[in-house]
Amino acid sequence: METVIPGGIPTNEFLEFYWQKKPCLLRRAFPEYQADFDKQRLLETACLSQVESRVVLEKDGDYPWQVLQGVFNIEDFEELPLSHWSLLVQNAEHYFQSASSLLSKFNFIPNWRIDDLMISYAPDAGSVGPHFDSYDVFLFQAKGQRKWSINCKEYKDSDCIDGLDLRIIEDFQADEEYILEPGDMLYLPPGTGHHGVAIGESITCSIGFRAPSNHELLAGFVDYVLQNQMEIRYSDPELRKTQYSGELREVELQKIDSLFRSTLPEPDALADWFGRFISSNHEMELETEVKNGIDRQETINLLKKEKKLCKPSELKAVFIRKKTDIVLYICGKAFVLPGHYLQFVDDFSSKQTFPNPVYGTKNDHDQVLSLLHYLYCSELIAPLLS
């Protein structure tokens, strides 16, 4: 049976003709969506110490397009003008259940590619200016209306005004314009210029996708190699007298090349590094071992009575299938499970709520029981409270 993405377009059609190719307007993508956030809750959330938030002032600041970084106090918002500003709250899926539920609807894209959901509140005429993103983004209208102007030219940093807090496109000309109503959504590939302006009070959810750069990957990979590879020093036992002592000879450069290549891991090790790298979460670190004093069998007996389990929205997980096993990566750590637990591993990686793989069983594989015990004692899974 052919699947469709929110908005009714067949999944394969969207991926072939739109994903990273051209914008796509999706009317009534989530017509029944009920947000558990409004202006007041967003303002209050931006006042919490653990929340990453910003206010963008188009004017009435110290200079055009000024960005104010949280944490805020409620009194800060009382001093803002009546229009032409925006509040941005990052990682909103951690703080609002309806945001987390919305994020789970994008499983037609590999889970590791999903970055976060940002909520933007703006009064009338609020905006963050004409700009572009370096990653794919879905712009979902949760409340109110917003007018979007887009240009399909692939913009670069050189197209932006120097000296501002934001990447504001200097000469932005719209090719198309749309007014998004609640439930509508707009997809934009990387580099697409876009300018959203609130019509009255407006709340928009931006679902961004992780696209690691070669610099980011290289930095992470080098750290992994340095931590896991034995140190090898340059050596030249066959050294003979050279005519020019300051010369770097071809034979020496080849030795350096070989030294670098000898530190590169085999393909399996590269996969292991990327699984750990892409599942890492700086906001959440796993304990190296189960806390002392918690009885394993008691935990397992308790878990076997629970039909469904849940995990924190900030917990990241991906997996790699081997010939007979599955390697599950959770927040940068690896856990090996039997291959027939594929459905559980997929559910755990992609859903906040998932079926308990040991519910009602008398016996089960020790690796799975140990993993569940470890996660439960680390307060990373819990019974689903209905």
Per residue in 65-95, pLDDT tens? Answer: 999 999 999 999 999 999 999 999 999 999 9
Quick one: what percent of the chain has pLDDT higher than 90?
71
> What are 161-187's pLDDT values in tens digits?
999 999 999 999 999 999 999 999 999
| 259 vs 327, higher pLDDT | 327
- Burial bucket for residue 321 (CB in 10 Å: 0-12, 13-18, 19+): exposed
pTM of the model: 0.88
Is there a contact between 168 and 58 (Cβ–Cβ < 8 Å)?
no
Residues 6+ apart with CB under 8 A from 117: 91, 92, 93, 99, 100, 102, 103, 205, 206, 207, 208
Question: In terms of DSSP bridges, do strands 53-57 and 85-89 run parallel, antiparallel, or are they unpaired?
Answer: antiparallel
Helix runs in the chain, H state only: 11-17, 39-45, 74-78, 97-103, 214-228, 250-263, 267-279, 296-303, 342-350, 366-377
CA pair distance 181, 141, nearest whole angstrom: 6
Res 123: pLDDT: 98
Local structure of 17: helix, strand or coil? helix
In the predicted model, is pLDDT for residue 321 greater than 60?
A: yes
CA pair distance 367, 327, nearest whole angstrom: 11
Six token digits for residue 94: 């951690």
Residues 6+ apart with CB under 8 A from 187: 14, 18, 23, 24, 25, 26, 136, 137, 138, 139
In the predicted model, is pLDDT for residue 288 greater than 70?
A: no
CA pair distance 18, 191, nearest whole angstrom: 14
CATH number for 11-209: choose from 2.60.40.10, 2.60.120.650, 3.40.50.12660, 3.40.50.970.
2.60.120.650
Local structure of 377: helix, strand or coil? helix
Of 178-187, 261-270, 298-307, which range is least confident?
A: 261-270
- pLDDT (mean) for 258-278: 85
Res 78: pLDDT: 95
Res 92: pLDDT: 96
Q: Is-cis flag, bond preceding 71, omega within 30? A: yes
CA pair distance 384, 227, nearest whole angstrom: 38
In the predicted model, is pLDDT for residue 290 greater than 60?
A: no
- Taking the CA atoms of 19, 20, 23 and 29 in sequence, report the sign of the dihedral they define: positive
Res 241: pLDDT: 87
Q: What is the DSSP letter of 226?
A: H
> What are 12-54's pLDDT values in tens digits?
999 999 999 999 999 999 999 999 999 999 999 999 999 999 9
Is there a contact between 234 and 259 (Cβ–Cβ < 8 Å)?
yes
In the predicted model, is pLDDT for residue 385 greater than 80?
A: no
CA pair distance 264, 170, nearest whole angstrom: 44
Sequence ranges of the chain with CATH classification 2.60.120.650: 11-209
In the predicted model, is pLDDT for residue 220 greater than 60?
A: yes
